[in-house]
Amino acid sequence: MRILLSISLICLFIKTEAQITKDVEVTIPDLGKVIIQPNHTWKFYSESVDNIADDSITLSCDSLLLGKYVSNKGEGDFLFSGVRNMRTILKGIAYRGGGNNKYNPISRRDNNNPLSIQSIIQLSDFGFKDVIYLYNKNFDYYYSNEAISQLAKIGINYQSIVPNNDSLANVILNLLYKKIKNPNEGPVYLHCWNGWHMSGLISAYALMQFCDFSKFAAWEYWKYGTDNNYKGYERIKKRIDDYKLNPDLMISSTEKLKICPCIK
């Protein structure tokens, strides 16, 4: 495995830049054909206005927040075939989902693992600079300190942060805050295994912290994002109920309008 990783890293060093610099047309399973823009916001595809919908028909609050780029089996546009259940959290800033380990025909392995090298390359090619694995199982096995260091040298910051308490959750929220203040640094992909539970929790925190979501709205959002796999998670409900806004991470109304899929 380490030999394969070294070969992959060598390939990363010689690959050409492929980051998105213009509008890209993709098909999202839940939403149909849309246009993804260089700043990672996206709009419905429209034949009537130069193939791009104007601001009056942008994605609605819930469709933008809850619609998936790819399905539970990683089905959708090839740009995101390395992930599952990928959704927007904060426009151009943060996205959530799982890793497509179980259904990936190229590098299939057990579901409870970090992303594959190929999946990280895909995200990097689409402009993502930070990827956070919200568990730690098998992370050290696939990604040694040396491998992480080599990835960082070519602009890909992959790390494991398990937000089992609010102090660790605030490490992630601090990163999102810095991205909000410096949006040109590229978005973050926050992933667990399925894109349901832990990624949903940190997303609920982010929506409460930055987009004025109430505790009730955050809980309902978390439940919906589990694709009906929400029973038996009372501890997560309690964590959402107990969450307190961090006064050091407040943003302006103008910033909220730019990044929040909706404000509730």
Report helix, strand or coil for 76.
Answer: strand
> What ranges make up the beta strands (E) of the chain?
24-28, 32-36, 42-44, 83-90, 94-99, 130-133, 157-160, 188-191
Give the phi and the psi of residue 221 in degrees, each rounded to 5. Answer: -60, -45
Residue count of the chain: 264
Say which residues have a Cβ less than 8 Å from residue 158's Cβ, sequence separation at least 6.
Answer: 114, 115, 120, 130, 131, 132, 133, 143, 148, 151
**Domain 2-17+60-259 superfamily per CATH:** Protein tyrosine phosphatase superfamily (3.90.190.10)
Q: Tokens 């960082």 sit at which residue?
A: 152
Residue type, 154: I
Task: List, run by run, the mean pLDDT of 10-residue segments along the chain (264 residues).
Answer: 40 42 66 64 50 42 80 82 92 94 85 92 88 97 92 91 96 98 93 98 98 94 94 95 97 92 78
Write out the two tokens for 204: 């609920």
pLDDT at 54: 40
Q: In this predicted model, what pLDDT tens digit does every residue of 210-256 receive, in sequence order?
A: 999 999 999 999 999 999 999 999 999 999 999 999 999 999 999 99
Q: What is the pLDDT of residue 37?
A: 65
